[in-house]
A and B are shown apart, each in its own frame.
Chain A
Amino acid sequence: MNRQQIFDVAAVRGIIAERKGMAGAMLPILHGIQEKVGYIPADAVPMIAGELNLSRAEVHGVISFYHFFRQQPPGKHVVQVCRAEACQARGSEALAGQAQDLLGCAFHETSADGQFTLEPVYCLGQCACGPNIMIDDELHARVGADKLQRLVQAKREAT
């Protein structure tokens, strides 16, 4: 069965119904769906378009414009490595390489075991203490190779 199909349709309809009256409701709706489902399923697009009286192309255009919105389910854990200048000045490019080796996937990809999705991020606002990463919603500062290994290992063991 296609992974795309498995999501709580009623919950998504509920989110759309609850937020469609907001001024500029599109982003709040998309955030609500991604929080609930983990990504924006393709089947949610016509549902949103219908309720907001927009074309599917317009909805798709918004989803694909923003880096934050995913159109595919992510791995169990999302690892974001900051690659912006302040972290670069503190060695984040080396860390980016280590993260790829450790997780066994490139940026914008999910590891073969479905455990980790690796994403670049351009600034987490912790610029005095880089390199910084975020795992799921948890921030970590001053991350070197050892700390990265410990953090990833802890996530693996928690599974």
Chain B
Amino acid sequence: MSRDAITVYVPRDSTALALGADHVAAAIAAEAGRRGLKVDIVRNGSRGMFWLEPLVEVGTPVGRIGYGPVDAGDVPALFDAGLLGGGDHPLRQGEVDALPYLKNQERLTFARVGITDPLSLEDYLAHEGYAGLTRALAMEPEAIVQTVLDSGLRGRGGAAFPTGIKWKTVAGARAAQKYVVCNADEGDSGTFSDRMVMEDDPFMLIEGMTIAGIAVGATHGYIYVRSEYPHAIATLDEAIAIARRRGYLGDDIQGSGKRFHLEVRKGAGAYICGEETAMLESLEGKRGVVRAKPPLPALEGLFGKPTVINNLISLASVPIILARGAEFYKNYGVGRSAGTLPFQLAGNIKRGGLVEKAFGLTLRELLEDFGGGSESGRPIRAVQMGGPLGAYMPQQQFDTPLDYEAFAAIGAMIGHGGLVVFDDTVDMARQARYAMEFCAVESCGKCTPCRIGSTRGVEVIDKLIANQDRPQQVHLLRSLCDTMVNGSLCAMGGMTPFPVLSALNHFPEDFGTPNEKAA
């Protein structure tokens, strides 16, 4: 790197790549070469403002100036406009940190994402990386568990179970071998925060898992990543190799005598493997069929050993909790929803992307203030929150504060914070049918309500749409949903009725039925 070289940032996040970031980086290098200008191109992560990707940033004395969305063909004109000095151009967005979309967030877990080079350990260390592990290594394991408990952190994968209680159970179990498993099977449509951490700040996850291992006495960890994420897998593998080389993983972590090993395991396109017990079966080399609980995985988990299974964002939240303390984290949020959640704005939305905020803002604020309304410009009609098993919410519910309990009270769920926006062209009967169809395709088949119920659900909705004895079909559908909710072994069958019934209750006109909320 030359002294007078100007730093230009071009993201390596897969959304940026899917929009041509590699071509843009190559074009910048070529154009600078032609003009005899020295540039140092850093492949940073994405800031999560996906409508601006590829977002090129230039380091200037007044901060990082952004340009986007940049096409490779724009590069000569950008250089003509004085790109390297932060010059004016129609694509110029101004100082990136000052953009309202970023400035109005509370980025704790995503503090480094988009800023650093994901595979530079120096960059990581320079931005508070491994401060949490350093603190943890100086603490007794019980104190680490207590800190996570005191932070109020709840599982970010959807079920919102207190993370510290899980850890405490595993810490208290006696066994020769324990494991930490990171659930990175981010199969829900509308979610990409796990993917961003893996691609854009992988050391944070490695650090969080290492802390978890030390806290509960586990010496081996697995990250179960879906096969649909090849970029994330490649980045994680590289980051793990770097961490091992530098003594942040292995038999003697930073000279502490503590041991922790980590490996990535690739899933194989089965949605159900996001369910924790199905994931364990898959890791053991079997079909991803759910297990009945008890026994709890905390006591009899992977290979029958006590296992901490956490969602990726839960584990990624741990380093900052250790670095800054439980109180710091807990002071964000409302009620029993402590801390922040990386919300993911997806679907038909103008400014889709990642928004990390403390709990308590409303859905409408996310959709309008951050998202800028629908991309099509048509009215937003429905929002599916929390993945394919989450309820469809109508306009009337958009003022609900994002708080686990407030959402539960209206039969919806925050889940992992992913939201998919639909405009008024959506056919809600078709979305309800899709929910049942998805369950039929992805059911592991172990329990009857899920396996058979979903297939019958598709048939009933087809008859409903075709107006065959409609009142009877509505009655049947509700009864079927009741059986699935109460009789399924896991959330797959147990929650598929949520999108179905919410569509039927809030958008009855799409089913050709009068509004009757007698569920």
- Closest Cβ neighbor of B19 among chain A residues: A141
Of the residues B285, B353, B388, B422, contact of A128 by C-beta under 8 Å: B353
Chain B, residues 338-371, CB within 8 Å of chain A (1/0): the string is 0000001111110011000000000000000000
Chain A residues closer than 8 Å to B268, beta-carbon distance? 27, 30-31, 66-69
> What CA separation (Å) do A87 and B188 show in the bound complex?
12
B420 touches A85 (CB 8 A): yes
B421 touches A89 (CB 8 A): yes
Tell yes or no: B105 within 8 A of A by CB.
no
Tell yes or no: B270 within 8 A of A by CB.
yes
Of the residues A62, A68, A134, contact of B269 by C-beta under 8 Å: A68
* Shortest CB distance B287–A (Å): 4
- Closest Cβ neighbor of A85 among chain B residues: B189
B228 touches A123 (CB 8 A): yes
A66 touches B269 (CB 8 A): yes
* Shortest CB distance B105–A (Å): 15
* Shortest CB distance B435–A (Å): 9
> What CA separation (Å) do A126 and B421 show in the bound complex?
14
Of the listed stretches B10-18, B202-210, B458-466, B511-519, chain A binds: B10-18
A67 touches B283 (CB 8 A): no
> What CA separation (Å) do A71 and B311 show in the bound complex?
32
- Closest Cβ neighbor of A120 among chain B residues: B441
Interface residues on A, range: 35 or more
Tell yes or no: A152 within 8 A of B by CB.
no
Given A86-B420, A127-B418, A128-B349, A137-B230 contact (CB < 8 Å): yes
Chain B residues closer than 8 Å to A86, beta-carbon distance? 189-190, 346-347, 420
B228 touches A129 (CB 8 A): no
Tell yes or no: A28 within 8 A of B by CB.
yes
B282 touches A27 (CB 8 A): yes
* Shortest CB distance B158–A (Å): 15
Chain A residues closer than 8 Å to B269, beta-carbon distance? 66-69, 121
Chain B residues closer than 8 Å to A117, beta-carbon distance? none
Residues 89-145 (chain A) with a chain B CB within 8 angstroms: 89-90, 121-130, 132, 134, 137, 139-142
> What CA separation (Å) do A66 and B230 show in the bound complex?
17
* Shortest CB distance B417–A (Å): 12
Of the residues B15, B230, B287, contact of A129 by C-beta under 8 Å: B15
A122 touches B187 (CB 8 A): yes
- Closest Cβ neighbor of A128 among chain B residues: B352
* Shortest CB distance B15–A (Å): 5
Tell yes or no: B384 within 8 A of A by CB.
yes
Chain A, residues 36-78, CB within 8 Å of chain B (1/0): the string is 0000000000000000100000000110011111000000000
> What CA separation (Å) do A28 and B283 show in the bound complex?
9
Tell yes or no: A15 within 8 A of B by CB.
no
A122 touches B434 (CB 8 A): no
B15 touches A128 (CB 8 A): yes
Given A27-B285, A69-B268, A140-B18, A84-B303 contact (CB < 8 Å): no
* Shortest CB distance A40–B (Å): 11
- Closest Cβ neighbor of B17 among chain A residues: A139
Tell yes or no: A23 within 8 A of B by CB.
yes
Tell yes or no: B431 within 8 A of A by CB.
yes
- Closest Cβ neighbor of A139 among chain B residues: B18
Chain B residues closer than 8 Å to A140, beta-carbon distance? 18
> What CA separation (Å) do A62 and B348 show in the bound complex?
37
B228 touches A121 (CB 8 A): yes
Of the residues A122, A132, A137, A141, contact of B271 by C-beta under 8 Å: A122
A89 touches B347 (CB 8 A): yes
Tell yes or no: B244 within 8 A of A by CB.
no
**A residues adjacent to B (C-beta < 8 A):** 23-28, 30-31, 52, 61-62, 65-69, 84-90, 121-130, 132, 134, 137, 139-142
Task: List 11 A–B pairs whose Cβ atoms lie within 8 Å, in order of A's numbering.
Answer: A23-B284, A26-B285, A28-B266, A30-B268, A68-B269, A86-B346, A90-B347, A123-B188, A123-B191, A126-B50, A137-B230
Q: Which 9 A-B pairs have the closest CB atoms?
A: A128-B352, A26-B285, A84-B189, A127-B346, A68-B269, A66-B268, A89-B347, A67-B269, A141-B18
- For the A-B complex with A125-B186, A125-B191, A128-B353 known, give 15 more contacts whose Cβ atoms are closer than 8 Å: A24-B283, A27-B268, A62-B286, A67-B268, A85-B388, A89-B348, A121-B269, A122-B442, A123-B191, A125-B14, A127-B344, A129-B19, A129-B51, A129-B53, A139-B17
